[in-house]
């Protein structure tokens, strides 16, 4: 099954994609994670992407499309995969659809993680992440036990550069302007399902399971 997770930043797509991906054996393909890996590796792509990401804007369509098409062509994706944070524009969605048609494949479901903007702001401005293992934290809801030290690996817990309030607001605007039109795109294709992503993660996971059943 090929599933698209759609929704604003901070709606919990990544958390749920990891969880359900492990259960079903579907690789979790996150363009945000791929771009951050390129930044850590210090590649030319990473250097270019970092400036764009720090402003809360979108990396060019052809760049992310190239990353995704390369990744989903690998054998571990043969039984399906989850797209998290991709597509983010109509151009990306059309490019993906064209490439899938060429392989006699198609998107099975697009799942909208619905959550209001003020909740996104609260979630993202308090979000922290381990710089070594990527474990997620939140200053209010799930802080590390010992200051800024990761509970799992002892690494440094930090704030993502693009989780500053000004950048969060820019990312939300970009979401409404450029990504939200995909809701209609998938609705017209009768692929869209919506879930209430402001519930506790366990509840969201239950709702997701029943949608994918
Ligand atoms: P995320 O981790 O999904 O919130 O993505 C972090 C940042 O990476 C975004 O704000 C964009 O700058 C960039 N990015 C991730 N995915 C895409 C995409 N599909 N298209 C363009 N830019 C992206």
User: Which pLDDT does position 69 carry in this prediction?
Assistant: 95
List the single range of 116-120, 133-137, 147-151, 203-207 with lowest mean pLDDT: 133-137
Based on DSSP, count helices (H) and strands (E) in the chain, helices before strands. 9, 8
- pLDDT tens by residue, 28-76: 999 999 999 999 999 999 999 999 999 999 999 999 999 999 999 999 9
**What is residue 59's predicted lDDT score, i.e. its pLDDT?**
97
Taking the C-alpha atoms of residue 201 and residue 187, their distance in angstroms, rounded to an integer, is 25
Cα(177)–Cα(64) distance, integer angstroms: 18
Per DSSP bridges, beta strands 127-130 and 81-84 are unpaired
Backbone angles phi, psi at 72, to 5 degrees: -80, -5
Give the ranges where 88-200 is alpha helix by DSSP (H).
90-102, 117-125, 165-174, 181-188
How close is the Cα of 139 to the center of ligand 1, in Å?
A: 23
**pLDDT tens-digit series, residues 100-136:** 999 999 999 999 999 999 999 999 999 999 999 989 8
d(C-alpha 41, C-alpha 36), whole Å: 9
- pLDDT, residue 134, reads 87
Give the per-residue pLDDT at 213: 86
Residues annotated as catalytic are: 13, 88, 127, 160, 171
For ligand 1, what atom is nearest to the CA of residue 85?
A: 3
Cβ-proximal residues to 53 (8 Å cutoff; 6+ apart), any chain: 35, 39, 59, 161, 162
Among residues 80, 52, 39, the alpha carbon closest in space to that of 162 is found at: 52
Pocket of ligand 1 (CB under 6 A): 9, 31-32, 35, 52-53, 56-59, 64, 85-86, 88, 92, 162, 171
The pLDDT confidence band at residue 146, using thresholds 50, 70 and 90, is very high
Average pLDDT of the residues of the chain: 96
Nearest CA to ligand 1 atom 19: 86
Q: Are 203 and 195 in contact (CB under 8 A)?
A: no
| d(C-alpha 42, C-alpha 46), whole Å | 6
């Amino acid at each position: 099954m090929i599933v698209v997770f759609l929704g604003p930043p901070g709606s919990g797509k990544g958390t749920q994609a990891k969880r359900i991906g492990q259960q079903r054996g579907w690789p979790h393909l996150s363009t945000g994670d791929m771009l951050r890996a390129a930044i850590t590796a210090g590649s030319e792509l990473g250097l270019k992407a970092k400036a764009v990401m720090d402003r809360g804007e979108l990396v060019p369509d052809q760049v992310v499309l190239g990353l995704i098409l390369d990744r989903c062509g690998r054998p571990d994706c043969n039984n399906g995969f989850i797209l998290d944070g991709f597509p983010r524009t109509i151009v990306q969605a059309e490019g993906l659809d064209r490439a899938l048609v060429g392989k006699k494949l198609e998107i099975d479901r697009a799942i909208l993680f619905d959550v209001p903007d003020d909740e996104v702001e609260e979630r993202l401005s308090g979000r922290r992440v381990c710089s070594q293992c990527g474990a997620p934290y939140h200053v209010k809801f799930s802080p590390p036990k010992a200051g800024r030290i990761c509970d799992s690996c002892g690494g440094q817990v930090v704030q993502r550069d693009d989780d500053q309030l000004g950048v969060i607001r820019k990312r939300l605007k970009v979401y409404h302007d450029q990504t939200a039109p995909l809701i209609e795109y998938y609705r017209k294709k009768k692929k869209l399902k919506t879930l209430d992503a402001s519930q506790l993660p366990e509840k969201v996971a239950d709702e997701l399971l029943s949608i994918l059943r």
